[in-house]
Amino acid sequence: MINKELRDKILSMASRKGSEMSEIFFRSSRSFTISAHKGKIEKSSDSISAGLSLKTVRKGKAGFAFTEIIDDLHVEMLVDKAISNMQLNDSDYIETLHSGTRIQDDSSYYSGRYEELPVSWAVDTVLEMEKTAHEADPRIVLVPESGFGFFVDETTICNSQGLENYHRKDGGYLVVITVASDGKQHKTGFAYDLAREPDRLEHNKTARRAASESSQKLGAKSVKSGKYNIILRNDVFGSLLATFIPTMFSAEMVQRGLSPISRSSEDRIASELLSIYDEPHLIESLSSRPFDDQGVPTKRKALIDKGIQKSLLYDLKTAKKDGVEPTGNALKNGYKGQTQIAPINISVEPGEHSLEELIERTGSGILITSVEGLHSGAKPMSGEFSLGAQGFLIEDGKKTRSVEQITIASDILTIFRSVEAVGSDRIFSLPMPRTTITPSVMVSEVDIAGSG
C-alpha cells in the first residue's frame, strides 16, 4: 500500500501546480517462476516490482505520468510531466475521476497459499511434470517447457475526490510444452492449468494433455482449399473472442465508428444459440477483480444474449458521453500508461453437447485446434481475419487424420451468425491479460485455404 504522507504530498503538489482533480494508482507485484529441463531445474525467477502513476485533470483534460523511482526529484518530475501532458491534451472527451464507494478487498481473490509454499514443492512439481510428459507417449522427443509460476498483485487507487480503493489477488499456473516426432514430422503440444490455490493444480494431468496433443497431431497434411463446416475447439473460440470482443464492445471504439457493431442495442448480431457475458467475479478466473483501474466497481453484464446485442463496455469518459453509468471496464497494464476499455472475463453460456457429439453432428468437416497469427491476421475494427490453423479432419462423424498448413478466413460477425451448436466443454484460459471461459462451437461454411 502507499503511505499517506506520500499520497498527500503528490496530491497537494499536483493541485498547487494547476490540477483540479488528481488520482494516484499504485501497484506492487511479486512474481515467481520455475522451469525444469532434462530432469533438472533449468531456470527460476523471483521478482518484486512497484510503481505509481498520476493522472491530473483540469477543465476535462487529463495528463498522465508514471515512475518507478520515488524520491523528491522524481516525484516532482512526475507531477510536472503529468501537468505538461495535460496541457497538451485537446481530446473532445470530458475526463473526470470516480468518487464514491470505498472498496477494501484483500480476501475475495487472495488465498496467500502460494507465498507459503516451500520452493521444494515447486521444484518437485515441475520435475515430475516433465517426467510424466516424457513417459506419457514414446513419441515425445522433447519437453522444452515444464513450468510453474505464481503472482501476487496489490492495487491502490486514491484520488482528490475521496476515493480510496485497495485490492489484493494471487494465483498460480502450470505450463507444459511438448514436441512429438514420428521420425518424419515434429509437432508441438501445449497445455496449462491454473488455480487460485496450489493444491488444485493438476500437474500430471496437464503433462499428459500436452503429450497427447502433440502426438495426436503427427501425420498431418494440408487439405484442399474450399468451404468447410468446422468446429472451433473451446480454447480456439476463446482466443478469437479475446481478440475481437474488446474492440467490438468498447464504447470508445463504437462512439468513434471503429467497431464492427453500432451503438443500437437489441439488434440480432449472432445465432440465438450464442450468449456472451462479461463476468468479473468468477473465483476460478485469475483476471477477476472487485473494481476497475479507475476505481469503479466491476459488475456482470450481458454483451450478447441469445444472439441479441446488449450492453457496451464503458469507462468514465465514454459513459459521460452516452449519458449512462460506467460499467467498470477501464483496465490498464500495470501502473504504466493509461486505461483502455476491455472486458474482464469473457464468458460464453455453455450448450448441451460434448465435443464428441459436436463432431458427430458435423459429419464431415474440420475440428480447428489451434490458430496462429492473431496479432497480425485479425482486424478487430472490421472483424475480418485470415489465420494459420491446425486441427483434425472430421469424416463420417469421427475425428480422423491430423491437419496442418491451412488457413481459416472469415469475419467474426459471420462466425457469430453461423454458430449451429454450442458445446458443454467450457474451459478457462490463462489471463492474457483477459480470461475467456468458452465452449467449443460448430460453425457452418467457413473458407479454408490449403495446398490442394
Partner 1 sequence: MIDPTIAAATLESALRNGADFAEVFVELKYTNEISMLNGRIESAVSGTIYGAGIRVFSGIMSAYGHTNDLRIDSMTELAARLARSTGGSSPGVSIKSFEKPEIRNRHMVFLNPEEVELSEKAEIMELANEGANSVSDLVVQVLISYLDSVQNVTIFNTDGLEVNDQRVRTRLSIRSVAESEGIKETASYSPGSGMGLEFYNTFDVKEAARRPSRMASKMVKSRHAPAGKMPVVISNGFGGVIFHEACGHALEATSVAKGASVFAGKLGQRVASEVVSAIDDPTIPNGWGSASIDDEGKETKPNLLIEKGILKSYMVDRLNGIKMSMESTSSGRRQDYTFPPTSRMSNTFIMAGNMLPEEIISATEYGLYAKSLGGGSVTPSTGEYNFAVTEGYLINKGRITEPVRGATLIGKGHETLQKIDLVGSDLAREQGMCGSASGMIPADVGQPTIRVSELIVGGRS
- Segment 125 to 144, residues that bind partner 1, using CB under 8 A: 142, 144
Q: Does 268 bind partner 1 (CB under 8 A)?
A: no
Find the binder of partner 1 among 11, 14, 82, 442 (CB under 8 A).
82
CB of 260 or CB of 328, closer to partner 1: 260
Min CB(287)–partner 1 separation in Å: 20
CB of 179 or CB of 302, closer to partner 1: 179
Q: Does 375 bind partner 1 (CB under 8 A)?
A: yes
- Segment 85 to 104, residues that bind partner 1, using CB under 8 A: 85-86, 88-93
Q: Does 74 bind partner 1 (CB under 8 A)?
A: yes
CB of 179 or CB of 427, closer to partner 1: 179
What whole-number distance in Å separates Cα of residue 433 and Cα of residue 367? 26
What whole-number distance in Å separates Cα of residue 171 and Cα of residue 173? 7
- Segment 291 to 350, residues that bind partner 1, using CB under 8 A: 336-338
The grid cell for 341 is: 476499455
Q: Does 258 bind partner 1 (CB under 8 A)?
A: yes
CB of 112 or CB of 144, closer to partner 1: 144
Min CB(397)–partner 1 separation in Å: 25
- Segment 34 to 73, residues that bind partner 1, using CB under 8 A: 37, 40-51, 62-69
- Strand order from edge to edge, sheet including 301-305: 308-309, 301-305, 276-278, 345-348, 435-438, 427-428
Q: Does 199 bind partner 1 (CB under 8 A)?
A: no
Number of residues that bind partner 1 (CB under 8 A): 80
Residue type, 253: M
316-319's contacts with Cβ under 8 Å and 24+ in sequence apart are: 316/95, 316/96, 316/97, 316/98, 317/93, 317/94, 317/95, 317/96, 317/252, 318/93, 318/250, 318/251, 318/252, 318/255, 319/251
Closest among 24, 54, 28 to 158, alpha carbons compared: 24
Q: Does 408 bind partner 1 (CB under 8 A)?
A: yes
Residue type, 290: P
Q: Does 372 bind partner 1 (CB under 8 A)?
A: yes
Cβ-based burial of 9 (10 A; exposed 0-12, middle 13-18, buried ≥19): middle
Q: Does 222 bind partner 1 (CB under 8 A)?
A: yes
